[in-house]
Amino acid sequence: MSGAMLAATVPDSLTFAISAAVILAGAFGVITSRNAVHAALSLVMTLFGVAVLFIEQQASFLAAVQIIVYAGAIVVLFLFVIMFLGVDRRENVAEEPLRGQRPLALLLVAVAIGGVIALEVSAHWATGAHAVAGSTTAGHHSNVYVLGKAVFTTYLFAFEATAALLVIAVVGAVVLAKRPRAGESQDEERPEESAGPQEPVVGGSSVDDERPAALVGGGASSSGAAEDDGGGG
Amino acid sequence: MSIPGEWYLILAAALFILGALGLLVRRNVLVMFMCIELMLNAANLTFVTYSRMLGDIGGQVVVFFVLVVAAAEVVVGLGIVVAIFRRRASSSADDLNALKG
**Tens-digit pLDDT profile for residues B29-71:** 889 999 999 999 999 999 999 888 888 888 899 999 999 999 9
Length of chain B: 101
Read off the DSSP letter of residue A135: B
What's the CATH architecture for B5-89?
A: Orthogonal Bundle (1.10)
- Give pLDDT tens digits along chain A (233 positions): 445 555 678 888 899 999 999 999 999 999 998 888 999 999 999 999 999 999 998 889 999 999 999 888 899 999 998 888 876 566 666 666 677 778 888 888 888 888 877 877 777 766 666 666 677 766 677 888 888 888 999 899 999 999 999 999 999 988 887 777 766 555 444 444 444 444 444 444 444 444 444 444 443 443 333 444 444 33
CA nearest to A178, candidates A207, A232, A221, A211: A221
- Please, is A108 exposed, middle or buried when counting C-beta atoms within 10 Å of its C-beta (0-12, 13-18, 19+)? middle
* Smallest Cα distance from A198 to chain B, Å: 24
Write the residue in A20, A82, A91 that is nearest to B27 by C-beta.
Answer: A91
How high does pLDDT run on average in chain B? Answer: 86
Which of A69, A159, A42 has the alpha carbon at shortest distance from B73?
A: A69
Nearest CA to B18 among A124, A198, A50?
A50
Asked if residue B5 lies in contact with residue A101, where contact means CB atoms within 8 angstroms, the answer is no
* pLDDT given at position A101: 79
- Closest chain A residue to B78, measured at CA: A81
Q: Where are the domains of chain B?
A: 5-89
Q: Do B68 and A162 touch (CB under 8 A)?
A: yes
Q: What is the pLDDT of residue A120?
A: 73
Q: Name every chain B residue with its beta carbon within 8 A of the beta carbon of A16.
A: 3, 7-8
Instruction: Compare all CA atoms of chain B with the CA of A164 and give the residue at the minimum distance.
Output: B72
- Within 51-70 of B, beta carbons closer than 8 Å to A belong to 51-58, 60-61, 63-65, 67-70
In this predicted structure, what is the pLDDT of residue A94? 63
